A and B are shown apart, each in its own frame.
Chain A
Amino acid sequence: MAEIQLKSLAHSYSRHPEGPGDYAIRQMSHTWHKGGAYALLGPSGCGKTTMLNIISGLLAPSEGDVMFDNVRVNELSPKDRNIAQVFQFPVVYDSMTVFDNLAFPLKNAGIPKARIEAKVEEIAAILELEPVLRKKAKGLTADEKQKVSMGRGLVRDDVSAILFDEPLTVIDPQLKWKLRRKLKQIHEQFNITMVYVTHDQLEASTFADKIAVMYDGQIVQFGTPRELFERPNHTFVGFFIGSPGMNLIDVSVTEQGVRFDDIDVPLDDGQKQRIAATGSSNIKLGIRPEFVQLTAAPADDTWPCRILDVEDLGTYKIVTLQLGEQRLKARIDEDQMISGDTLHVGFPRQWLKVYVDEFLVDEQTEEAQS
C-alpha cells in the first residue's frame, strides 16, 4: 500500500505540445491517500486512462512527478512500482488455465507454491471462478474473462495500489452490480488503495468513498458523492453528476444581484463582492433540479413560470419549465400534483450556486483557498 501523489503532472502525446489543446492531462496535482477506495469519474476522452497509465508506469508523464510514499517513481517500471491494473477489455493468457492465469503475477514474483494456491483459491472463491478454475482461459465467456482479468489484479495483496480502468464495461448489468459489491468487499477486507475509473456516476458512487471528477485533462473536484451533489465545484460537475444535471443559467451582474431575461435574482453582499472581485463577465447561476421549488401560489422570491412537460418516472417526476427564455428542470415528488400550465418557481438561497468562469464562488471556497 502506498500514498500516491501526483505533483504538477502534465502529459501530452505529441512530442512538441504547443497549446493547452495538445495536452491529454493539463498541469495538476493530486493525492490518493493510502488505503482509500477512489473513483475517477469523467466523460470519454477526458484523460482518465492516461492518468491511470501514468500512475501504473505504463506511460511516462511529459511533465511533473509521480510519488509513491514521497519517493519519486517516474523512472520505475510497473514491476518495480508493484502496482496492479485491470484493463477495460479483458486480457487473459489463452494458453493457460484460469488457475494459472490467476497465479501468473504471483509466480512472477517468486512467491512459494503453497501460498500461491491458497491465494488463488481465495480470490477464485470471491469472484466465483471455482467451477472454471481448471479450464483453459481461451474458452471462457466475456464475463468470465473479465473476472479472470480482475482476479489477476486482486490476488496480489502486497501491491501499492490496484487501478481499475472501466473494468465492468463488457459485463452485463446484473453481474456488474454484484462485482462492484465484491470489489468493495475486497477493499474492506484487504484495505488496498484502489482507483476505479468509470464514466458512470452510479458506479463511482457505489464503489468509492471519494470521487475525483475529471474534465478536459484536469481533476475539477475531489469529494464524497454528497459533496459533489450538494456543492459542485465546477459547472461540469453540476452537469455531469445527477440525473438530470444541474440547471445552469447565464446571467449578468446588477446592483442587487444578477439578472437574466428580465428576471432579477438578488444575492447577498458577500457573494456580490466575490463576483465583483473576479472582474469576469462569464457568470452562471446553478441549481439542482432537486432543489428547485415549485408552488401553486406566488410567494417572496418566486417567479411565475410555464410548465412545458412533466415526465413521470415512477418514483419521482421531472418537470420542464420555462422561466424567461430559459428552460429549467425540476425534480418533484411522485405525489406532488401539477395542475394548470403556470406555477411559481423559487430558488432556495442555500442551494443557489454562483459560478464565475465555470468555477464555484462561495464562502467555503474562499476559506479553502485562504
Chain B
Amino acid sequence: MRKVPNNRAWWLVLPVFILVAFSALIPLMTVVNYSVQDIFGPNAAYFVGTDWFREVLRNESLQASLGRQVVFSAAVLLIEIPLGIGIALLMPTGGKRASLCLILLAIPLLIPWNVVGTIWQIFGRGDIGLFGRFLNEIGINYNYTADPVDAWFTVLLMDVWHWTPLVALLCYSGLRAIPQAFYQAAEIDRASRWAVFRYIQLPRLKSVLVIAVLLRFMDSFMIYTEPFVLTGGGPGSSTTFLSQTLTTMAVGQFDIGRAAAFSLVYFLIVLLVSWLFFTAITYPDRDK
C-alpha cells in the first residue's frame, strides 16, 4: 500500500479530543475564566488578574479549613491504611468464611454517602442513638453536636468505618496474588512472621497500596457529604472541611471569582500531594 504523506490521521484523534474538551478542558477553563475576573452581571465583568488568588491565600477561614483538612486526611491515612492491611492479613484465605468476610466488608462501601452521614448522625445521638447512648450510660460524657473533640472523633470513626473496607479489599486481593512459593521459600529461609510481612507481603502489596493511599487521600481531602450531614461542619466550624467552605462560598454567597480561584488552588494541592505520595511509594523500586 502506498503511504500518503498528509496530516489527515489527526481526524482520528478528534473524538477523544472533543470528549476530553467537554469533560475536562472546557469546565476547567471556565473556572480559570471566573478566577481572573470580577463578574457583576452578564455585561459587567472586570479583569482582576491574580487578585482573587492573593485574597484566597490570605483568607484566614480558608487557611483554618485547609489546616483541618490536612489533619483529617493525615488521620484517615494513618488509621485506615494500617488497619486495612491488618484486616486483610487476618482474613481467611479461601472457602466460605472468606466469602462471608468479603460480603461483610463490602457492605459499608455500598451505602450512599449521605445515608452514611445519617446513620452516624442517629447512631451517635445521646438520647436515641445506640452508640451515643451507650457511651453516656457507661459514664463517658459524649456529645458530638456540642464538643469539637467528640465531633472530630465521630467524623473520623465514620470515615474509618466507611472506607477501611476498601483498603482491606484492595490489600486482600494483593495478598492473594502472591504465589505460594514465596511463603514456602520464606519458611525454608527461617523467616519470622514479621520478616515475611516486611520482605514478602509488603513489597508485593506496593502496587495496591499506591492505589489505596491515593484513593483514600483524594477522597478524604475532598470529603463533603458525610460530615455535612453528620455535624453540618460544627460545632462552630470545627469540622468544616475545604469542600464545605468552598460550597458555602460558591453557592451560599455566590462569590464566584473567589470560589473559582480557591477551586484551582484546591485542585493543585490534590494534584501535588497525590504526586508526592506516588513518588514516595514507588521511589525505592528504582535501582541506585
Contact = CB atoms under 8 A, between A and B. Distances in A.
Contact of A78 (B181, B187, B195): B187
A108 B200 CA distance: 14
Contacts of B184: 58, 85, 87, 91
Contacts of A348: none
B287 A85 contact: no
A42 to B, nearest CB: 21
The B contact surface, by secondary structure, is helix
Contacts of B185: 85, 87, 91, 149, 152
B190 interface: yes
Nearest to B181: A91
Interface string B176-207: 00000110110111111001000110011000
A87 B179 CA distance: 13
B181 A104 contact: no
Interface residues of B, number: 18
Given A91-B181, A108-B192, A79 B203 contact: no
Contact of B190 (A95, A109, A136, A138): A109
Given A56-B188, A87-B184, A139 B199 contact: no
A135 B287 contact: yes
A84 B187 CA distance: 10
Given A105-B190, A108-B189, A135-B287, A96 B199 contact: yes
Contacts of A139: 287
Interface in A43-89: 56, 58, 77-79, 82-85, 87, 89
B284 interface: yes
A56 B185 CA distance: 11
Q: Which one of B192, B195, B199, B284 has the highest number of Cβ atoms from chain A below 10 Å of its Cβ?
A: B199
Contacts of A109: 190
A79 B287 contact: no
Contacts of A23: none
Given A91-B181, A93-B203, A138 B285 contact: yes
A78 B284 CA distance: 32
A79 B199 contact: no
Contacts of A96: 199
A146 to B, nearest CB: 12
A117 interface: no
Interface residues of A, number: 27
Contacts of A58: 184, 187-188
Contacts of A56: 188
Nearest to A85: B188
Contacts of B284: 95
A128 interface: no
Given A91-B182, A93-B200, A93-B203, A84 B191 contact: no
Nearest to A80: B190
Interface in A121-152: 135-136, 138-139, 149, 152
Nearest to A152: B189
A108 B199 contact: no
A94 interface: yes
B178 to A, nearest CB: 11
B188 A104 contact: no
Given A93-B199, A94-B203, A108-B195, A79 B181 contact: no
Nearest to A89: B181
Contacts of B204: 94
Contacts of A153: 188
B203 A95 contact: yes
Interface string B245-288: 00000000000000000000000000000000000000011010
A149 B203 CA distance: 18
Contacts of A82: 190
B199 A104 contact: yes
Contact of B189 (A94, A95, A104, A138): A104
Nearest to B191: A108
Nearest to A95: B203
B164 to A, nearest CB: 25
Contact of B188 (A84, A95, A135): A84
Nearest to B284: A95
Contacts of B182: 91
Contacts of A91: 181-182, 184-185
B189 A105 contact: yes
A95 B187 contact: no
A290 to B, nearest CB: 40
Contact of B287 (A78, A83, A136, A152): A136
A85 B191 CA distance: 14
A139 B285 CA distance: 10
Given A78-B190, A93-B200, A95-B203, 18 more contacts: A77-B187, A78-B187, A85-B184, A85-B185, A87-B181, A91-B181, A91-B184, A95-B199, A95-B284, A104-B189, A104-B195, A105-B190, A108-B189, A108-B191, A109-B190, A136-B287, A139-B287, A149-B185
7 contacts: A58-B184, A78-B187, A78-B190, A79-B190, A94-B204, A104-B199, A105-B189
Interface of B: 181-182, 184-185, 187-192, 195, 199-200, 203-204, 284-285, 287
Top 10 closest pairs, chain A to chain B, by CB = A95-B203, A91-B185, A105-B189, A108-B190, A79-B190, A85-B188, A78-B187, A93-B199, A91-B181, A78-B188
